[in-house]
């Protein structure tokens, strides 16, 4: 208990001790962060400003982009500052906040992806009941349930992580406060409750995965029964981005947590964690905007309006 209460900071793993490589890490992470920031902000702006995109599918997509913005903003800026300032420290309270918000955004993200699978199931398998089932009130309640689920699970997970005693030092072998790396610092007899929470979270995640899989089995069966080839293509095109995002999140997460820990090098661990924590939020806007005429049209309309407004102001000032 004394070790836990007297600990004031953790030391995060740096990408390198060489100054030039630290600057390179800062530049690379800055590029990744800006790509995630710009992409997700464009998605949110396009959906919020274009009334044609005020549908359940795009409402959930806007929530997904907000969660992606939050998840990268929790971990990347601190790592960038550490590289730039040539430091590795993060305060105890800062580590607690980082764990809580990262777990919140990731778990709410997965819950929202499960809801989006249900939305696609109703739209394709029960199209006549879609407007009644996915009405405005139902959509708001579903989105709120995803956010509340994330808050509750994150609070439980964070509380169980930091109630344990840390007696294995304060060096975290990751560029942010990742729970598996924190548990390596725990006393051998004090982290069993947190293992139980991890198992509980894994069961919840597996339940969501099974629900998504069953939803898409029913969707594919319904799509294959559509006689018109154009209708089948349209149905598949609305599901493909969501399915790609789910596959990306699950595959990177499984690869990160199922790899053998004994043979993993720190460099490999860093790369794997970047894949599951940074890559999905950056790729999601690209996946959803690719070949999506509604989003591309809304973005083009908004950019043209911005340019037109700016030109009008410039002409007015010159006049």
Contact 83, 15 (CB under 8 A): yes
Q: What is the pLDDT of residues 264-315, one digit of tens each?
A: 566 677 777 887 888 888 888 888 876 677 776 766 776 676 665 655 555 4
Q: Which of 112-121, 143-152, 252-261 has the lowest mean pLDDT?
A: 252-261
**d(Cα 197, Cα 203) in Å, to the nearest integer?**
10
Q: What is 2-288's CATH superfamily? A: Rhodopsin 7-helix transmembrane proteins (1.20.1070.10)
| Helix %, strand %, coil % of the chain (to 5) | 80, 5, 15
Does residue 159 have a pLDDT over 70?
A: yes
- Unique residue bearing structure tokens 């997700």: 40
Contact 114, 145 (CB under 8 A): no
Three-state DSSP class for residue 10: strand
**How confident is residue 2, by pLDDT bands cut at 50, 70 and 90?**
very low
The larger pLDDT score, comparing residue 257 to residue 212, is at 212
Classify 128 in phi/psi space as left (phi over 0), alpha (psi -120 to 50) or beta.
Answer: alpha
In 3-state terms, what secondary structure has residue 171?
Answer: strand
Which residues neighbour 19 within 8 Å (Cβ) at sequence distance 6 or greater?
86
Whole-model pTM: value is 0.85
| Contact (Cβ atoms closer than 8 angstroms) between residue 175 and residue 12 | yes
The domain spans of the chain are 2-288
Per-residue pLDDT, 227? 80
Q: In angstroms, rounded to a whole number, what is the distance separating the alpha carbons of residues 314 and 310?
A: 6
Average pLDDT over residues 168-173: 82
* H helices present in 126-135, as ranges: 130-133
CB 246 within 8 A of CB 111: no
């Amino acid at each position: 208990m004394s070790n836990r209460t007297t600990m004031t900071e953790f030391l995060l793993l740096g990408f390198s001790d060489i100054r030039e490589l630290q600057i390179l890490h800062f530049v690379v992470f800055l590029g990744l962060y800006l790509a995630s920031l710009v992409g997700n902000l464009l998605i949110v702006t396009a959906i919020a400003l274009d009334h044609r995109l005020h549908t359940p599918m795009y409402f959930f997509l806007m929530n997904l982009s907000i969660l992606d913005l939050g998840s990268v903003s929790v971990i990347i800026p601190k790592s960038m500052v550490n590289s730039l300032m040539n430091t590795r420290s993060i305060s105890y309270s800062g580590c607690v906040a980082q764990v809580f918000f990262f777990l919140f955004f990731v778990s709410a993200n997965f819950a929202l992806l499960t809801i989006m699978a249900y939305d696609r199931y109703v739209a394709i398998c029960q199209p006549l009941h879609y407007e009644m089932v996915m009405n405005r009130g139902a959509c708001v309640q579903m989105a709120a349930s995803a956010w509340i689920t994330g808050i509750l699970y994150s609070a439980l997970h964070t509380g169980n992580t930091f109630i344990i005693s840390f007696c294995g030092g304060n060096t975290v072998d990751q560029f942010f406060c990742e729970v598996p790396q924190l548990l390596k610092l725990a006393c051998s007899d004090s982290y069993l409750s947190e293992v139980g929470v991890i198992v509980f979270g894994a069961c919840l995640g597996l339940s969501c995965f099974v629900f998504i899989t069953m939803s898409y089995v029913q969707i594919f069966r319904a799509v294959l029964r559509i006689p018109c080839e154009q209708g089948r293509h349209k149905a598949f095109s609305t599901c493909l981005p969501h399915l790609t995002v789910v596959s990306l999140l699950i595959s990177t997460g499984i690869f990160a947590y199922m790899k053998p820990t004994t043979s993993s090098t720190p460099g490999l661990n860093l790369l794997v964690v970047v894949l599951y924590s940074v890559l999905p939020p950056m790729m999601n806007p690209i996946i959803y905007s690719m070949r999506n005429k509604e989003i591309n049209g809304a973005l083009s309309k908004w950019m043209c309006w911005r340019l037109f407004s700016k030109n009008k102001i410039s002409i007015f000032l010159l006049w």
